[in-house]
Amino acid sequence: MVQKSKITIADIATKADVSISTVSRVLNNTAPVAESTRQAVLEAMQALDYRPNIFARGLASGQSMTVGVLTQHIHSPLYGSLIRGILEEMDNSPYTPLFVDGYWQRQREERLVETLLRRRVDGLIILGGDLPLERLQEAARQVPLIVFGQNVPGLETQCLQLDDYEGAYRATEHLIALGHRRIAHVTGNLAHSDAVARRDGYLQALRDNRIEPVPELMAEGEYTEQSGLIAMEMLFGRGRTFSAVFAANDESGYGVRLALYRRGIRVPEDISLVGFDDIPSSAYTTPPLTTVRQPATEIGRAAAEAILKLIQDEPFELPQISMELIIRESTSRYLK
């Protein structure tokens, strides 16, 4: 079962009584063609239901008119939205995106990038993942490349960065604006740079508002609910009071909340709580969690826009994209 729309430019050349070059010209308007003959060609194409053969075109031109996109967990909210942004942007271009999913497995990612290169993609967008920097640098030598989620030395202008620091700063600032002054922070694993950035944003926001950070109000977690719970127990054990908590991510925020409930402390009546990441359930828990979200669709769109420019050797600039504070009821009131 094979489809073969046998019609080639030769056929339509015959029908329109011109040469194949002329047909090719109106097809790509790569050179001026007399309006009359152009019409004739167009009509012939219409009549014969002509479809260009992309293989022949690719062979002759060396371009595939595709952009490879390496994602991770395509079904997750973050990557789903990134893809959406890319789709929206590419939609108005002659390029088609080719999506592959690395599942955060380095080996798999390596293989998929190889697959994409074999498919002769004209550009490559890498979203997240675990590829070593050298691999990315190598890829950048072979094909136009845009990266999100890593900062590759030497490729700074092609890396889309998000500001964990700024997001944390805003979250903390929000709590301060509500009137809080004793704000606790459950960090992520401080061996990772994003957790450090979030902590630093928290600290700086305090200082900028003339609140002296209190070391006893910080406890290290590791982005899990369990660790959030434990961190809170540590905080309580230290005997310092606080009226708000900033958790370095939503999951650990749930642990925080659990610890509070167990002590009969209500959110937000007694304590305000802010998370980070905006995982889906955070909109539905009781109460919905105030949190910081990566504006993924926008990022996707920016990445797509950039790669298209890159491919065409046009100048481009990756926009600075800010984290977005989603205010929900977990910080709706501050009564004490």
Q: Which residues bind DNA (CB under 7 A)?
A: 4, 6, 8-10, 17-22, 24-25, 27-28, 30-34, 36-38, 50, 52-53, 55-57, 59-61
The reply on whether position 4 binds a copy of itself by CB under 8 A is: yes
Tokens of 120: 């002769």
Least separation in angstroms between CB 17 and DNA: 7
81 lies in the site for a copy of itself, by CB under 8 A: yes
Site for a copy of itself in 109-168 (CB under 8 A): 115, 117-120, 142-144
Sheet strands (E) in 129-235: 145-148, 159-160, 183-187, 218-220
**Residue 51 found at the interface with a copy of itself (CB under 8 A):** yes
275 and 291 Cβ atoms separated by less than 8 Å: yes
- Residue closer to a copy of itself by CB (options 143, 232) is 143
Q: How far apart are CA 122 and CA 109, in angstroms?
A: 18
191: contact with a copy of itself by CB under 8 A: no
Pairwise CA distance, residues 193 & 326, whole Å: 23
Q: Which residue lies nearer to a copy of itself by CB, 172 or 249?
A: 249
Q: What value, to the nearest 5°, has the Cα angle with vertex 161 and ends 158 and 162?
A: 160
- Among residues 20, 48, 54, 196, the one that binds a copy of itself under rule CB under 8 A: 54
d(CA 323, CA 171): 10
Where are the extended beta strands (E) located within the chain? 66-71, 96-101, 123-127, 145-148, 159-160, 183-187, 218-220, 244-247, 272-274, 291-293, 324-326
Q: What's the min distance (Å) between Cβ of 307 and a copy of itself?
A: 12
- Minimal distance in Å, beta carbon 7 to a copy of itself? 13
Write out the residues near a copy of itself by the rule CB under 8 A: 1-4, 51-56, 58-59, 62-64, 74-77, 79-81, 83-84, 87, 96, 98-101, 115, 117-120, 142-144, 280-281, 283-286, 310-311, 313
